[in-house]
Structure 1
């Protein structure tokens, strides 16, 4: 999921070009539609994978929080994880509303504040992992990359 999300965040050009044409009243070319479709299909894949991931989270649970973390940081981690889950759904759904239903407001939200919030969470997530790895010296990075507790 991370790679798909980063792909769409780093390479939105096809969709941006399509959106400029569409929302200015011009008919996008077939090449523009094809490029936009790649972005859309990656986003839909993220939505499907997020649904599976959320189901697995409810069925299997989550690993225990590291005891080395202060209680406040554990609460921040829980909030940020649920914010990620919310964005895993909100981002693709707003993109679907923009691309398939022509919602200009959804397009603005998708490419503006929602995208910015996703980047903020990604940076905070990376910072949190680095603190775990080098300050608290937990095995969090290993758990994230291999799934081993």
Structure 2
């Protein structure tokens, strides 16, 4: 069993472990691949949405289906990750990470959960509910998510080169 110490979030105690579990790591990388697929193969869903908004018939497309299924899977995996975060906990930030960066990292991780969930929900609302505001929100969130991903990826060399810690190893090897 990992060593754990409680941490606080809005007055609620959360466990803190020495590392992420294999399940947490697996879910991180599965969501990464799914999100990449959503962006790489977005043209089919964009074309289908354009046809739909113009009142045209939409023929079945495996890529459109994959986009919808991918969004549902992402939401499911985000909820699973949140459940694991509350039940198992997460490792603490590296000791040499300055306080403001620890806070930024914490906010960014919660932001990822929120934006990924909101992308899935707004995507569903635009198709199922024909809600134009959801489509607009989905398009804005897509840009926000790309910016967050860029910062998340850039944090790896920053941690390695500037802070001289190997925070990336936590997403490769499960903690003890």
Q: TM-score range by the shorter chain?
A: over 0.9
1:86 aligns with 2:108: no
1:30 aligns with 2:55: no
**Match 1:2 to one of 19, 32, 51:** 32
What is the distance in 2 between the residues matched to 1:99 and 1:147?
38
CA contact (8 A) 2:41 2:63 kept: no
TM-score, normalised relative to structure 2: 0.79
CA contact (8 A) 1:95 1:107 kept: yes
Residue 174 of structure 2 corresponds to which residue in structure 1?
147
TM-score, normalised relative to structure 1: 0.92
1:43 aligns with 2:71: yes
After TM superposition, the runs of 4+ consecutive aligned structure 1 residues lying more than 6 A away are none
Report matched runs for 1:35-74 at 5 Å. 35-74=63-102
CA contact (8 A) 1:142 1:148 kept: no
Question: Which consecutive residues of structure 2, in runs of 5 or more, have no partner in the other structure?
Answer: 1-30
Quick check: which one's helix share is greater? 1
> How many residues are aligned here?
146
What is the distance in 1 between the residues matched to 2:53 and 2:34?
26
Question: Which consecutive residues of structure 1, in runs of 5 or more, have no partner in the other structure?
Answer: none
Q: Deviations over 1:50-79 (max 9, x none)?
A: 111000000011101101111011111111
Q: Which has the higher contact order (CA 8 A, sep 6+)?
A: 2
